[in-house]
A and B are shown apart, each in its own frame.
Chain A
Amino acid sequence: MKFFIIGYLLLVACLYYFFMQDKEFQESIQRGKDIYTDFCITCHLENGEGVQNTFPPLAKSDYLMNDREGSIKGVKYGRMGELVVNGVTYNNTMMPLGLEDEEVADVMNYILNSWGNSSTKMVTVEEVGLIVK
């Protein structure tokens, strides 16, 4: 009986933690959508398809899905020069967006979980904070 109660409480705690995390994750994605519409959509377009040979796609982008740190860095500080995405070489400038760390995390969570992209590990403010130029 004692074990059952302890086990039960543990389970409830775990579930509670899991659902809260999930809620936080979903809210972050939702806020990220607004950031995307404000800062990213003019180049990367509505469905993250980008512009051929000019602005790389985000939808099903191998670079975005494989280089998490590089992607966060790009959103946080902007980037310049060559970048290979899905086998195509891009050579362009993405200006620094001036986003706060929380906004970087939100928009990362949005683009990592839209248009067929999926990433279960939430990008957190702390994770963004650790990434330096």
Chain B
Amino acid sequence: MRNSIKALYLFVVMTNLSCAQKSDNEVNSPTQTTFTAELIVDGLAIPWGMVFLPDGSMLITEKSGEFILFKDGQKTTIANGPSVYNRGQGGLLDIELHPDYENNGWIYFSFASEEGEDKGGNTAIMRAKLNGNSLTDKELLYKASPNTTKGQHFGSRLEFDNEGYLYFSVGERGERDINPQDITRDGGKIYRIYDDGRIPDDNPFVNEPNAKKAIYTYGNRNPQGMAKHPETGAIWIHEHGPQGGDEINIVKKGVNYGWPVITYGINYSGTPITDKTEMEGMEQPIHYWVPSIAPSGMTFVTSDKYPAWKGNLLVGSLSFQYLERLELNGNEVTYREKLMEDIGRVRNVCQGPDGFIYVAVEGKGIYKLVPVQ
């Protein structure tokens, strides 16, 4: 009898454990509308990145390679951008301002570049200054290698942490069995550098022979969302997994996130990649999406404009074409909700300095979410 009670208890516990992710893998539709979405910048194709300049204007990156300055309701194309390799998922990608932009004027951006000897392209990180309607003082800070003509997985998002380090992601460039688990190769990694491109002495692999010293984490697939946690200051990322394996991870020094050795996803063809979802020495995601939402762009809500959303995470969905709101309890996702259903492929989401949320949608433009009083 005693044994059977133990067994029953164990069974219940195990069942609960194995269902640990179930509740947050259901996405809910809101019962009431709490905001309206105003299209403030129209006529954009693939608005990959956006930043807000101190004068209230907005600088937008289009995948095609264009930098667009949106000021006083007018769009101006910025001249003298980098030469962009616009193929497959590659093009002009993210943009970010230096934390001390007002004093030094540095603008950081990521893009697919043909720089180097091999045919094809790979992700590059550059900084430059905006002078009038032109980019000047361009400095190439990092260029992943080798180039390849493959169309997938360039990454790339940029974010500064509270200490002023710059983090960026480079996707595994369609070489999952070659790149992500090998720290001597670029791709499938999160990198950490100083604002001028120098590599910090305390990066995790600086003493490993032949390692790419800028690497901070590995075993990533294709991270296209990165945001600094408003309280802990930690860098959060999300990454596109295979079918059913999109993840949210917290960036930790030297950690292996497991791709493609462990994953919750399967191939697009429906065949398995691995039967392992966990392994010693490999980090578990704090959340994974089933089915895949194809996440792009990510921001924490910190402003007072949306009291019910404070502390929530917002993530764009490319494949299901909505904006996802995730409620968190510490590092745990407790509730998921669809906002802006059927709006289009949501490429990016940011909170502006005015506290409003701005959402970039492919083929449409940039929406401002205005709370309904």
Interface of A is mostly: mixed
User: What is the CA–CA distance of A119 and B142 in the complex, to the nearest angstrom?
Assistant: 46
List residues of A (29-50) whose CB comes within 8 Å of B's CBs.
38-39, 41-43, 45-46
A96 touches B86 (CB 8 A): yes
B46 touches A98 (CB 8 A): no
Is residue B151 contacting chain A, with contact meaning CB distance below 8 A?
Answer: yes
Name, among A39, A42, A96, the residue most crowded by chain B CB atoms within 10 Å (CB to CB).
Answer: A42
Is residue B269 contacting chain A, with contact meaning CB distance below 8 A?
Answer: yes
Question: What are the residues of chain A within 8 A of B46 when measuring CB–CB?
Answer: 93, 95
B87 touches A97 (CB 8 A): yes
A38 touches B152 (CB 8 A): yes
A38 touches B174 (CB 8 A): yes
Question: What are the residues of chain A within 8 A of B151 when measuring CB–CB?
Answer: 38-39, 97-98
B321 touches A54 (CB 8 A): yes
CB-based nearest A residue for B46: A95
Is residue B330 contacting chain A, with contact meaning CB distance below 8 A?
Answer: no
Question: What are the residues of chain B within 8 A of A81 when measuring CB–CB?
Answer: 363
Q: What's the least CB distance linking A46 to chain B, in Å?
A: 4
Given A39-B151, A98-B86, A98-B88: A92 in contact with B319 (beta carbons within 8 A): no
User: What is the CA–CA distance of A51 and B150 in the complex, to the nearest angstrom?
Assistant: 23
CB-based nearest A residue for B63: A95
A98 touches B87 (CB 8 A): yes
B268 touches A96 (CB 8 A): no
Is residue A99 contacting chain B, with contact meaning CB distance below 8 A?
Answer: yes
B45 touches A93 (CB 8 A): yes
CB-based nearest A residue for B174: A38
Number of A-B contacts (CB under 8 A): 48
Question: What are the residues of chain A within 8 A of B363 when measuring CB–CB?
Answer: 80-81, 92-93
Is residue B172 contacting chain A, with contact meaning CB distance below 8 A?
Answer: no
Given A41-B268, A45-B268, A80-B45: A93 in contact with B345 (beta carbons within 8 A): yes
How many positions in chain A have a CB within 8 Å of any CB in the partner chain?
A: 18
Name, among B151, B270, B294, the residue most crowded by chain A CB atoms within 10 Å (CB to CB).
Answer: B151
B45 touches A38 (CB 8 A): no
Q: Please encode chain A, from 80 to 113, with 1 for each CB lying within 8 Å of some chain B CB and 0 for all others.
A: 1100000000001101111100000000000000
Is residue B344 contacting chain A, with contact meaning CB distance below 8 A?
Answer: yes
Partner pick for A98 among B45, B90, B319, CB 8 A cutoff:
B90
Q: Please encode chain B, from 249 to 283, with 1 for each CB lying within 8 Å of some chain A CB and 0 for all others.
A: 00000000000000000001110000000000000
Q: What's the least CB distance linking B321 to chain A, in Å?
A: 7
User: What is the CA–CA distance of A98 and B321 in the complex, to the nearest angstrom?
Assistant: 24
Nearest 9 CB-CB pairings of A with B = A98-B87, A93-B363, A46-B269, A39-B151, A93-B362, A38-B151, A98-B86, A39-B88, A41-B268
Residues of B within 8 A of A (CB): 45-46, 63-64, 85-88, 90-91, 150-152, 174, 268-270, 294, 319, 321, 344-345, 362-363
Residues of A within 8 A of B (CB): 38-39, 41-43, 45-46, 51, 54, 80-81, 92-93, 95-99
Q: List 14 A-B contacts (CB under 8 A).
A: A38-B151, A39-B88, A43-B319, A45-B268, A46-B268, A80-B45, A81-B363, A92-B345, A93-B46, A93-B344, A97-B88, A98-B88, A98-B90, A99-B87
